[in-house]
């Protein structure tokens, strides 16, 4: 069967790669075409567009790149029609994917959404369009199934795919240490614009904690020059495409909001969540977004498990205080690890990618 997958970010590429492998295992004749990244391509999909050409974050940034986004949508529609897939699988990335879903439905193409848009956070009325355009919704957060129930929309909870990814990584043999010092991992994100904004604040911690080795998790799609430009004269180690090895060795981490916050927690690494964006975009978000927290860890647990420093709160003084607490407050660290264990139990150990692949194949065959 022919599968067309669309992921627009690094996290979607990671989770999409596991789905590609699962589809190949369950369908030996699977032909998979995708928008994604290196991981989906390595897993056996034909890559059409790399996510580094697609990632625009925030209202202002989207408006600035609107012509490019519209051209991508036009090209995507044409490519899908030429490929004639048995199913279109949309992976998160709602601004783009919901438009494609509406169009695909009109073309008579079967649509599956894997990793629900965060409609529970903002623009809840988008559920009406999802019900109309998406034939099957596969969700990965425990509370999402209940959320959709109130809209009378039946969805399938697959479990969270990161639990299987991290479990597999933890079982791998140890590899040489990155440093002789205890490590503080810096995860500034995968987009150039967020790296330029958040990494400078994170780097201000380096001279304040000389007994630690700070190591940057470099996004595979970003060039060395970007990080060197931000670092200036400061010399900091970097690892590229090896974030999980870094997290396995880290004592603590400074992490940009997103999937990485959950990955860090599943590795049991104490973290501070960092977010700073365009001022206008952030102001608009405060008017539209209806959630108490910005990190997946806190959202799933429905309480502040990890410290969040957002917008103006993300400054050198606050970040130093939060990091020093992670490193020195034993009672806090004990409580944090207990919450991490609860988080792991809440997410369970379902083979999410296998479940998702089975649901997609069944949907192609039965329409249910």
Q: Is the dihedral of CA 328, 334, 339, 345 positive or negative?
A: positive
- Residue 15, CB-side half-sphere exposure with 13 Å CA sphere: 32
CATH 3.40.50.2000 domain extents, the chain? 2-159+350-366, 168-347
Q: Of 41-50, 164-173, 182-191, 322-331, which gets the smallest average pLDDT?
A: 164-173
What average pLDDT does this structure show over 190-211?
A: 94
What average pLDDT does this structure show over 212-235?
A: 93
For the chain, percent of residues with pLDDT exceeding 70:
92
pLDDT of residue 195: 93
pLDDT of residue 88: 98
- What DSSP element (H or E) covers 54? none
Q: What is the pTM of this model?
A: 0.83
The distance of Cα 12 from the centroid of its chain, to the nearest Å, equals 6
What average pLDDT does this structure show over 71-97?
A: 95
Say how far apart CA 211 and CA 206 lie, in whole Å. 9
- Residue 55, CB-side half-sphere exposure with 13 Å CA sphere: 22
pLDDT band (50, 70, 90) for residue 127? very high
Q: Which two tokens stand for residue 284?
A: 């608009």
The superfamily in CATH containing domain 2-159+350-366 is Glycogen Phosphorylase B; (3.40.50.2000)
CATH number of the 168-347 domain: 3.40.50.2000
Please give the full DSSP string across 179-228, using - where no structure is assigned: -SS-EEEEE--SSHHHHHHHHHHHHTTGGG-TTSEEEEEE-TTS-HHHHH
Say how far apart CA 219 and CA 190 lie, in whole Å. 5
Say how far apart CA 305 and CA 269 lie, in whole Å. 12
pLDDT over 50 (residue 287): no
Say how far apart CA 114 and CA 93 lie, in whole Å. 10
pLDDT band (50, 70, 90) for residue 259? confident
């Amino acid at each position: 069967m022919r599968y067309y997958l669309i992921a627009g970010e690094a996290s979607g590429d990671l989770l999409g790669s596991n789905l590609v492998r699962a589809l190949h295992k369950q369908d030996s004749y699977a032909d998979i075409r995708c928008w994604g990244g290196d991981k989906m391509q390595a897993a056996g999909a034909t890559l059409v567009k790399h996510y580094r050409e697609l990632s625009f974050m925030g209202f202002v940034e989207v408006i600035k790149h609107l012509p490019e986004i519209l051209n991508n949508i036009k090209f995507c529609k044409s490519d899908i029609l030429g490929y004639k897939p048995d199913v279109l699988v949309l992976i998160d990335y709602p601004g783009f994917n919901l438009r494609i879903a509406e169009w695909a439905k009109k073309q008579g193409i079967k649509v599956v959404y894997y990793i629900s848009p965060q409609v529970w956070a903002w623009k809840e009325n988008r559920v009406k369009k999802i019900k109309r355009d998406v034939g099957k919704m596969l969700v990965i957060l425990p509370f999402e199934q209940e959320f959709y129930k109130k809209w009378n929309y039946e969805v399938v909870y697959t479990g969270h795919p990161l639990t299987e990814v991290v479990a597999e990584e933890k079982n791998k043999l140890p590899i040489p240490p990155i440093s002789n010092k205890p490590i503080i991992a810096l995860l500034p994100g995968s987009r150039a614009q967020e790296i330029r904004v958040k990494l400078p604040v994170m780097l201000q911690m380096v001279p304040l904690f000389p007994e630690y080795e700070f190591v940057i998790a470099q996004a595979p799609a970003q060039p060395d020059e970007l990080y060197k430009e931000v670092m200036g004269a400061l010399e900091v180690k970097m690892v590229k495409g090896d974030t999980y090895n870094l997290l396995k060795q880290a004592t603590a981490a400074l992490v940009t909001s997103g999937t990485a916050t959950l990955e860090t927690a599943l590795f049991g690494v104490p973290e501070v969540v960092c977010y700073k964006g365009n001022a206008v975009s952030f102001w608009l978000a405060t008017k539209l977004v209806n959630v108490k927290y910005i990190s997946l860890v806190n959202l799933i647990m429905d309480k502040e498990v990890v410290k969040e420093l957002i917008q103006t709160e993300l400054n050198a003084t606050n970040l130093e205080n939060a990091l020093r607490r992670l490193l020195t407050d034993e009672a806090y660290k004990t409580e944090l690890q207990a919450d991490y264990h609860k988080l792991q139990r809440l997410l369970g150990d379902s083979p999410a990618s296998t479940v998702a692949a089975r649901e997609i194949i069944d949907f192609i065959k039965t329409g249910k």
